[in-house]
Amino acid sequence: MSDVAERAGVSKMTVSRVLAGRNVSQATRERVQKIIDELGYVADAAAGALSSGRSEFVAVLVPSLSSSNFSDTVRGLNAALGPHGLQLLLGDTDYRLEQEELLVRSMLRHQPRCVALTGGRHTEATRMLLQRAGIPVVEMWDLPSDPIDTVVGFSNSAAARAMVRHLHERGYRRMGFIAGASERDRRGHDRMRGYVAEIRALGLGEPRVIRLGDSPITMSHGAPAIGALLDTWPDTEAVMCVSDMSAFGAIMECHRRGLSVPGDIAVAGFGNFEVSWCCQPSITTVSVDAYGIGVRAGEMLLAALADREAGDAHRRKAVKIDFTVIARDSA
């Protein structure tokens, strides 16, 4: 920067102002900008952050970057925060809370302006770290009872219950549920709990749950799972799956076995992934606006940042996101 300043015959401060788009006379600005371009000068963000005491980072943690759900949420966050000059520092927790803690710790070193987490469960240390950092935090995709700060999510349990009621209304009675064997995928686990609760509430007998494979289960788990379900309870009329991925796998297995869906057995998914509306038959599912969660979460963080800037008190808020049961051909 000294270099640029010298060549332009101005002080470093003026160069800094040009870069920041502050008050600089037209003539000076153009002259400085020209030198910057010629030299290909790129300002050092670390020095800027150190000096100003504020970085442009936003720490974002998702369980998996390969799930289109979460990558949509990340896109939403980026859409909301990018225009404000904020840079996402992305981390993939692989559905593990210890990994989340590790990443939070490492990201906090970069003094992020705020943090977006997925889910409402975290290690005690994670909560502590975040608390001490004293920056806005948003938890997404869940409605925790003891939020850290702000929340943008919905009840996975309630969404699953809505699907059970939907199937019940369509006349299905003997329903099963397919899920992963572990609780790693908390939101999937919550859906399963919702299914069980609603089955009980409707007096539909004992829940028929097949738990197979490490959560979150994907397409390939759907086939063996529905196989196991039909082996255990051959008279099952409908199957809810923890996600559209496993529902798809289940439907393909039905094709292989010569079972018609929904004629012989109905199958429902969760998430409204692209496969759910491209599949033949199209898959009845629960739609959640993953991108919208990201956008809303970004907006909440922005608002918290603005409040803090203005010296206003920090209000914790919880934004409840809608979900919709989408009736299609498979159930």
Partner DNA sequence: TTGAAAGCGCTACCAG
Partner DNA sequence: CTGGTAGCGCTTTCAA
DSSP 117-146: EESS---HHHHHHHHHHT--EEEESS--SS
Cβ–Cβ < 8 Å for 218, 246: yes
Q: What are phi and psi of 252, to 5 degrees?
A: -60, -40
Closest CB to its own copies among residues 82, 207: 82
Closest CB to its own copies among residues 317, 328: 328
SS3 116: strand
Cβ–Cβ < 8 Å for 210, 232: yes
Angle at 131 between CA 45 and CA 123, to 5 degrees: 105
Give how many residues touch its own copies by CB under 8 A. 50
Q: Which does 24 bind (CB under 5 to 8 A by kind): DNA, its own copies, none?
A: DNA
Q: Which does 328 bind (CB under 5 to 8 A by kind): DNA, its own copies, none?
A: none
Q: Count of CB atoms within 10 A of residue 22's CB?
A: 11
Residues sharing a CB contact under 8 Å with residue 281, sequence separation 6 or more, in sequence order: 251, 261, 262, 328, 329, 330
The reply to whether 97 sits near its own copies by the rule CB under 8 A is no
**In whole angstroms, how close is the CB of 73 to DNA at the nearest point?**
31
Closest CB to its own copies among residues 88, 162: 88
The reply to whether 105 sits near its own copies by the rule CB under 8 A is yes
The reply to whether 174 sits near its own copies by the rule CB under 8 A is no
Closest CB to its own copies among residues 39, 306: 39
Q: Which does 10 bind (CB under 5 to 8 A by kind): its own copies, DNA, none?
A: DNA
Sites of contact with its own copies (CB under 8 A): 40, 42-47, 49-50, 55, 65-66, 68, 71-72, 74-75, 78, 87-90, 92, 105-106, 108-111, 128-129, 132-133, 218-220, 222-223, 248-249, 252-253, 255-256, 274-275, 277-280
